[in-house]
Amino acid sequence: MDRPRILVVCPTDWERAAIAAAPLCDRYEFVICCEELYDSIGLWRALRFDVFDYLRGVVRRFRDAGIAGVLGTGDYPGCMFGAFIAGELGLPAPRARDAVLLSHKYYSRQHQRRTVPEATPAFALVDPRAPREPETLEYPFFVKPVKGTMSIRAQMVHDRGELTQALALTPRERLQGWVVLRPYAQLLRAYAPEPAPLRMFIAEAPLRGRQVTVDGFVQGGVVTVMGIVDSIMYPGTMSFHRFEYPSALPAAVQARMVAIATRLMEGAAPGFDHSCFNIEMFHDEATDALSIIEINPRMSYQFSDLFERVDGMSSFAAQLMLATGVPVAWPRGAGPEGAAVSLVMRRFADARVLSVPTRAEIDAVERRFPGTQVRLLCSVGDRLSGHAQDVGSYRYCIVNAAAGSHAQLRARCEALTEMLPFVFSSPDARRS
């Protein structure tokens, strides 16, 4: 029996690993496209680049290739390009318009305010070319780019000086941003009623509490929440230490989060359909209030195997069923483990990487703790700041693991961390 052919658009490293492993590689035939886009784009090509010409060229190339579904889980441009290509091929996918607008923090906030106002903080646009305090907000407030990832350039500001500093981009940063986001800017001009330039930042009232990610999918206009993942920070920072599933929040709080997520994504239907999503939220224990941080119109690829270990199905498997029009019956608690984690190893001072775990050391971890996935984010000789990073910290490794309970899982994290040795230069070493 022929395997369904899946077009994988702008694959992330997580996608590449998932589609190369059983059972997905046994069940589907994967064809990769668009991976060359950012390998070769520069200023001259960006000046001439037309995103619609490019995407329609991809559609022409695969029109008669027997494609059964399109997979694009990257924040940018994977989920947007994938939605456009699938729509042109007549395959199940969100409308490109909805993928584009929900990926824009300002337009997404507008949608949230219309559908779940009680969970939407006050917000306003801020122009870095003429930074002024929003009339609707008082210090302190949070600022971040209207299109950004991994909390890059996201921070709390307490006065005019901090606001000016937070919005100050070097000429090189502005040029790089323009080159990278030019395709997105063209998509926005086509789909946004009042395009907000991508240089803009969004200012938001501060949120607090325990942070989670609500993961789910929409199929045929029906919203299913797969699960809620706890986002746990390094103490006193905005940097994620680990993501634990299932959530330890009270059942009643989780039920309210599910209700908000359902209303929010039903409000995006029928445009947003046949796709996974994830919504970041806060629960303020002092006030019992729930607040939305942001919507991501794509699956949480970093958490895919966490769901598989606990529930018995990966979110990659669910997304592929959605993309090929196969009904998804999400299992709960059918996996072999009771708890799973994605552990983010970080430093809080820049350094050069002197040594990373060897293949033999990684294999030893995976033998001792079967199913553990170790993903190195750096190589010997790298400077940590040379990679895309959050504000104020430097990721160097991600480890996904599972165990019978949360207590066993935390003990396992300590053990495997000791088994993965990294060596860095001293913090005051020359930045050579």
Are the C-beta atoms of 403 and 339 separated by less than 8 Å?
yes
Are the C-beta atoms of 424 and 347 separated by less than 8 Å?
yes
Residues 235, 157, 261, 216, Cα dihedral to 10°: -60
State the chain's mean pLDDT as an integer.
92
Residue 358 phi, psi dihedral angles, 5° rounding: -80, 165
Give the mean pLDDT of 201-205: 96
Are the C-beta atoms of 249 and 281 separated by less than 8 Å?
no
pLDDT at 113 over 70: yes
149 vs 195, higher pLDDT: 195
428 vs 286, higher pLDDT: 286
- Strand ranges, E, within 158-257: 201-204, 210-219, 222-233, 240-245
Tell which residue, 292, 272, 267, has the closest CA to residue 115: 267
Q: In this predicted structure, which of 173-182, 290-299, 348-357, 368-377 has the lowest mean pLDDT?
A: 173-182
Instruction: Give dist(CA 365, CA 75) in Å, integer.
Output: 30
pLDDT tens, position by position, 23-70? 999 999 999 999 877 555 566 577 788 999 999 999 999 999 999 999
Nearest-5° Cα angle at 267, 214 to 332? 35
Q: Indicate the SS3 state at residue 76.
A: coil
Amino acid identity at 43: L
Instruction: Give dist(CA 131, CA 165) in Å, integer.
Output: 10
Q: Which two tokens stand for residue 363?
A: 């294999």
Quick one: pLDDT at residue 44? 57
Partnered with residue 204 across adjacent β-strands are 123, 142
Instruction: Give dist(CA 394, CA 355) in Å, integer.
Output: 16
pLDDT tens, position by position, 237-266? 888 999 999 999 999 999 999 999 999 999
Instruction: Give dist(CA 149, CA 78) in Å, integer.
Output: 13
Instruction: Give dist(CA 67, CA 230) in Å, integer.
Output: 36
Are the C-beta atoms of 278 and 296 separated by less than 8 Å?
yes
Length of the chain: 432
Using pLDDT thresholds of 50, 70 and 90, give the confidence band for residue 427. low
Which class would CATH give 117-204? alpha beta
CA atoms within 13 A on the CB side of 432: 5
Are the C-beta atoms of 402 and 312 separated by less than 8 Å?
no
Alpha helices, DSSP H, located in 49-192: 51-62, 78-89, 96-102, 105-115, 160-167, 171-191
Quick one: pLDDT at residue 152? 66
- Percent of the chain at pLDDT exceeding 70: 95
Q: What is the CATH superfamily name and number for domain 210-424?
A: ATP-grasp fold, B domain (3.30.470.20)
The CATH 3.30.1490 portion of the chain extends over 117-204
Give the mean pLDDT of 144-150: 77
Quick one: pLDDT at residue 38? 59
Contacts of range 405-413, beta carbons closer than 8 Å, 24 or more positions apart: 405/338, 405/339, 406/244, 406/248, 406/338, 406/339, 408/339, 409/244, 409/339, 409/340, 409/341, 412/369, 413/242, 413/341, 413/343
Give the mean pLDDT of 346-358: 95
Quick one: pLDDT at residue 236? 87
Quick one: pLDDT at residue 82? 97
Instruction: Give dist(CA 352, CA 429) in Å, integer.
Output: 8
Q: Give the helix, strand, coil percentages of the chain, each rounded to 5.
A: 35, 25, 40
Quick one: pLDDT at residue 41? 56
Instruction: Give dist(CA 374, CA 367) in Å, integer.
Output: 12
Are the C-beta atoms of 304 and 255 separated by less than 8 Å?
no
Quick one: pLDDT at residue 432? 33
To which H or E segment does residue 399 belong? Answer: strand 394-403
Give the mean pLDDT of 356-383: 96
Quick one: pLDDT at residue 268? 75
Q: Which two tokens stand for residue 79?
A: 């989920």
Give the mean pLDDT of 350-375: 96
Are the C-beta atoms of 209 and 114 separated by less than 8 Å?
no
The CATH 3.30.470.20 portion of the chain extends over 210-424
